[in-house]
Structure 1
Amino acid sequence: MWPAPYADRMPSEVEYSRCLDPGKYQVLHERLQLWAAVVVKAGLGRVEAAQGAVWRDLLPERDLRAATPTATWWLRPSSTSALPLLVVAHRQEGGVWMGAGDPAVPVVRLPVCGCDACDDGGALLAGELDDRVLDVLGGSFTHVRLGDARVVGVADGWSTNSDLAGQDVERLLAEARSGRSPHHVVHGTPWG
Structure 2
Amino acid sequence: MIRVLLGSVLGAVAMFVLGFIFYGALGSVPLDDLGDSEAAAVQSSLAANMGDLPAGAYVVPGTGTQNQERMFTDGPIATIQFNPAGFETMDATVLLGGFVHMLISALILGAALYAVSAHVRSYSAKLSIVVLFGLAASVFMHLGNPIWWHQGWLYHLWLFFADFVSFVAAGAIIAWFLPERLKGESRRDAEAARASSEA
**TM-score when normalising by structure 2:** 0.26
Which structure carries more relative contact order (alpha carbon 8 Å, separation 6+)?
A: 2
Structure exhibiting the larger radius of gyration computed from Cα positions: 2
More strand by share: 1
